[in-house]
Structure 1
Amino acid sequence: MRGLRGLVSSEEIDRLVLTRRYGLLLTGSFAGAEQQRLVNGLVSVEIDQRVAAFKEAHAAIEG
């Protein structure tokens, strides 16, 4: 994220990276042996969505 600071506003970094779901996943509030599959699925979805958001942001920057 440090590399983005000069190119992207703080608000955009929040939108692209520091999502509410990201924060929830970091807290481990879903962690539990029986819920590991759910957590893994949520992480995969979050990663896919963040990759898509970065691609869109990159395309917007490149024009």
Structure 2
Amino acid sequence: MAKMNITRSWREQKVILKRRFSFLSDGDFDFKDGQKEAMHDNLAVKLKKTRTELEVLFAELQTY
């Protein structure tokens, strides 16, 4: 995933995503050390977005 300026905590980002996509659960955001990329891949599949679209979505969360 491309580097971006993070202005929101991960917790805030999860809350925003869960509000926007009500079918997401806390479990969709779980990952172990070194497995964050796999979580992103799973989110992309669940949201039916490409990896690039997911990166754009995360970047948009920083502007809310």
Question: Larger RCO: Structure 1 or Structure 2 (Cα < 8 Å, ≥ 6 residues apart)?
Answer: 2
- Output the TM-score relative to the length of structure 2: 0.38
Choose between structure 1 and 2: higher helix proportion.
1
- Output the TM-score relative to the length of structure 1: 0.39
